[in-house]
Chains A and B, each alone.
Chain A
């Protein structure tokens, strides 16, 4: 489907993971993340096992580690925050190399880093192996309201068109010698934003006309209905079930 940025996220391939129906993958990733989040943070080894699971899934999907790691960078703000926590949190202090750190802060930082990273990695893997429009159809098959899916697909379809318009406005501003440097220029930028809104809204009205002209009455015709076989579900479920086993161990040990 995709907007341009989406293509950078998606890695074309023919791996077993790519072949799974989108709704199976979404459900699997969601359950996986939920399980990870419910794991007690003290079970450090469990997170190691989760990471191995993700690595295994990435290997099956033939997504190179480099790609995955690069995409993890979106997490950086959290890392910065997590690193701060040992200094801010309360509780008994530990002294490491002359620094006084909060023990619970260290745990908190670990908790956030581990769970956040695994969550991002799982989502990245999902986006890397599933085409954008498959994702949307998958969400629809998982009972997301069709209207919401339609809105999301319009957003994706026109995200690029509008970003492009924004870029053209910027170029037009630049070529008239305007460069926004500070607060004084907010008015100009806001006018651009306002103009962008008007254009977007009017385009929405035109798209609506074009849709109505082709017989649209409020529901999208279902063009292809893929269903998942039991084997596909089983394969997709491998990841969350393995994680669940780890999680239960984490709670009991």
Chain B
């Protein structure tokens, strides 16, 4: 997804640069808080920030090189925004991904120097913030179990990638330098990124699951969830259907949730609100959408040995600096694609959620297996 120089015009580049700088400044403060509380009492946040955030950045840098084979010789890799947000918190996440992007731009010329603001806004800020907001929201409404964390991670990562694509399209609408209609850009970007998002989601969820199985205390997004998890493993304490929250699950919720109905209702509300927002979004954006699905996705596929390459290929769908002339084109296809993309996302999330609910009511013994999708003890 690294935007090179010349894709976005100078004013928008400068503006996003300012946005990125402000976000990084805020994150520097926030990260101190996030990294302070983790372990022994000796360190203050300021002391711990540099080494910990640096190591997490190095981790993201490394894990982007870890290839996940898809099929027939192709493979994908992690972008890491959602993973970072969930594991170390949103501020540190923004900070680490920004540092990775900065270094990639300065050292490897991967992503233009003037496009740094665009890249950080898009890939560090949007992915991380969207992922974390969604993750926290889901964790709040889902039953308090490890599996919920996995599910929430999945959905958060799944949505974060197309969200970045949408953000990119918006930036493109403002300051793109080529003559491709926004509708095409939007269709191509969101379409491809929903696919990428699925891969990202699977990897993120599995990775978070793997960490939470070994060091639950290191998963920032799941702090406060570990104690009740262990209580629930006893086969006698939790009859079916009892709300998952054991007292003290989260410090600010000292009393148990009365019945299962309450969470269910609130969950439904969240989903309805989310769906409405998504449809509004998709509808609004598709106002600009035009054109039939075009060659971009296909190229992205042929092109794409890995997710990143796909990114490059599509990201660059430009739109003219002086083009609003093509709005007359059919917008329907683009709009539909947008709605389908968001819909698919929601559907996947809901499906997983329903499965989870069924499993939860199936019996307390379930809870003992925190992450059944973790396979053989192959890790080293």
User: In the complex, which residue of chain A has the Cβ closest to the Cβ of B54?
Assistant: A154
Does B44 contact A218, Cβ atoms closer than 8 Å?
yes
Contact of B47 among A187, A201, A217 (CB under 8 A): A217
Q: Is A81 an interface residue when CB atoms closer than 8 A count as contact?
A: yes
Q: Is A140 an interface residue when CB atoms closer than 8 A count as contact?
A: no
Contact of A108 among B177, B312, B314 (CB under 8 A): B177
Does B177 contact A112, Cβ atoms closer than 8 Å?
yes
Does B203 contact A186, Cβ atoms closer than 8 Å?
yes
User: In the complex, which residue of chain A has the Cβ closest to the Cβ of B57?
Assistant: A155
Q: Contact mask B35-61 → A, CB, 8 Å, 1/0?
A: 000110011101111111111111101
Does B180 contact A89, Cβ atoms closer than 8 Å?
yes
Q: Which residues of A lie under 8 Å from residue B87 when comparing CB positions?
A: 197
Q: Contact mask B178-218 → A, CB, 8 Å, 1/0?
A: 11110010000000000000000011001111110111001
**Bound form: Cα–Cα A87–B180 in Å:** 10
Does A182 contact B108, Cβ atoms closer than 8 Å?
no
Q: Which residues of B lie under 8 Å from residue A135 when comparing CB positions?
A: 106-107
| Chain A CB within 10 Å, residue with most, of B110, B180, B206, B379 | B379
User: In the complex, which residue of chain A has the Cβ closest to the Cβ of B328?
Assistant: A90
| Chain A CB within 10 Å, residue with most, of B65, B69, B214, B378 | B378
Q: Contact mask A201-218 → B, CB, 8 Å, 1/0?
A: 101110110011000111
Measured CB to CB, the closest approach of chain B to A182, in angstroms, equals 5
Does A156 contact B47, Cβ atoms closer than 8 Å?
no
User: In the complex, which residue of chain B has the Cβ closest to the Cβ of A193?
Assistant: B207
Does A74 contact B379, Cβ atoms closer than 8 Å?
no
Give residues of chain A (37-95) contacting chain B, Cβ–Cβ below 8 Å.
37-38, 41, 71, 74-75, 77-78, 80-82, 84-85, 87-91
User: In the complex, which residue of chain A has the Cβ closest to the Cβ of B184?
Assistant: A88
Measured CB to CB, the closest approach of chain B to A154, in angstroms, equals 2
| Chain A CB within 10 Å, residue with most, of B51, B203, B309 | B51
Does A91 contact B59, Cβ atoms closer than 8 Å?
no
Does A157 contact B54, Cβ atoms closer than 8 Å?
yes
Does A145 contact B28, Cβ atoms closer than 8 Å?
yes
Q: Which residues of B lie under 8 Å from residue A201 when comparing CB positions?
A: 52, 55-56, 59, 88, 215, 218
Interface residues on A, range: 35 or more
Does A9 contact B61, Cβ atoms closer than 8 Å?
no
Give residues of chain B (80-110) contacting chain A, Cβ–Cβ below 8 Å.
87-88, 95-96, 99-100, 102-103, 105-110
Q: Contact mask B348-380 → A, CB, 8 Å, 1/0?
A: 000000000000000000000000011110111
Contact of A88 among B62, B100, B180, B373 (CB under 8 A): B180
Q: Which residues of A lie under 8 Å from residue B96 when comparing CB positions?
A: 151
Residues of chain B whose beta carbon lies under 8 Å from any beta carbon of chain A? 4-7, 9-10, 13, 24-25, 28, 38-39, 42-44, 46-59, 61-63, 65-71, 78, 87-88, 95-96, 99-100, 102-103, 105-110, 112-115, 177-181, 184, 202-203, 206-211, 213-215, 218, 294-296, 299, 303, 309, 312-318, 320, 323, 325-326, 329, 373-376, 378-380
Residues of chain A whose beta carbon lies under 8 Å from any beta carbon of chain B? 5-6, 9, 26, 29-30, 33-34, 36-38, 41, 71, 74-75, 77-78, 80-82, 84-85, 87-91, 102, 104-105, 107-109, 111-112, 114-116, 118-120, 122-124, 126-127, 132, 135, 139, 145, 147-148, 150-159, 161-163, 165-166, 168-169, 172-173, 176, 178, 180-183, 185-198, 200-201, 203-205, 207-208, 211-212, 216-218, 220
Ranked nearest first, the 10 interchain pairs of A and B with the lowest CB-CB distance are A154-B54, A115-B6, A194-B210, A119-B5, A108-B178, A77-B312, A190-B206, A104-B179, A204-B55, A218-B46
| Other A-B pairs, 18, CB within 8 Å; known A5-B108, A155-B61, A211-B51 | A34-B13, A37-B5, A38-B10, A74-B110, A88-B296, A89-B179, A111-B178, A112-B7, A145-B28, A154-B57, A192-B66, A192-B379, A194-B211, A195-B214, A195-B380, A197-B87, A200-B62, A212-B43
